[in-house]
Amino acid sequence: MQALVSAHSGLRWIALILLLLAIINAFTAKDFQKKHRLINLFTMISFHTQLLLGLVLYFTSKKVQFVEGWMKNDIFRFFGMEHLLGMLLAIVAITIGHSKSKKATEAASKFKAIQLWYVLALILVLAFIPWPFRSALGAGWF
């Protein structure tokens, strides 16, 4: 179980780096190349992998308990509802952005889709990660 938690926590850094790289490319690149498509794709894949790991943790972790009064408990509410919904919305945004970018024919349209949807996803991800400074959640950096 701890290995799965460590994998999910550690892989968040890869997912975040890929997301930031895709956003930087979308704002700075002039010509849409294969490398841009691959970074966008790997970003989406990394987040879907995180989703799969997270779902296993959701159904096996002691931090997710639907007992009486679970919404009043910061940890149970965060991991049982807030983290899941926030990250699902972020993954949906990434998937929509990737799909719209893939379907667009002009480079500007491809980059605009990534700019909009991936930035929205980044905001959601940053809001719903159990950061170490959120001491009530008992999370660590890795």
Percent helix, strand, coil in the chain, to 5, is: 80, 0, 20
Residue spans of the domains in the chain: they are: 2-135
Residue pLDDT, tens place only, 37-81: 999 999 999 999 999 999 999 999 888 888 898 989 888 989 899
Side chain identity, residue 117 = W
DSSP 70-87: GGGSHHHHIIIIIHHHHH
Rg of the chain over all Cα atoms, to the nearest angstrom: 16
Among 14-18, 75-79, 86-90, 137-141, where is mean pLDDT lowest?
137-141
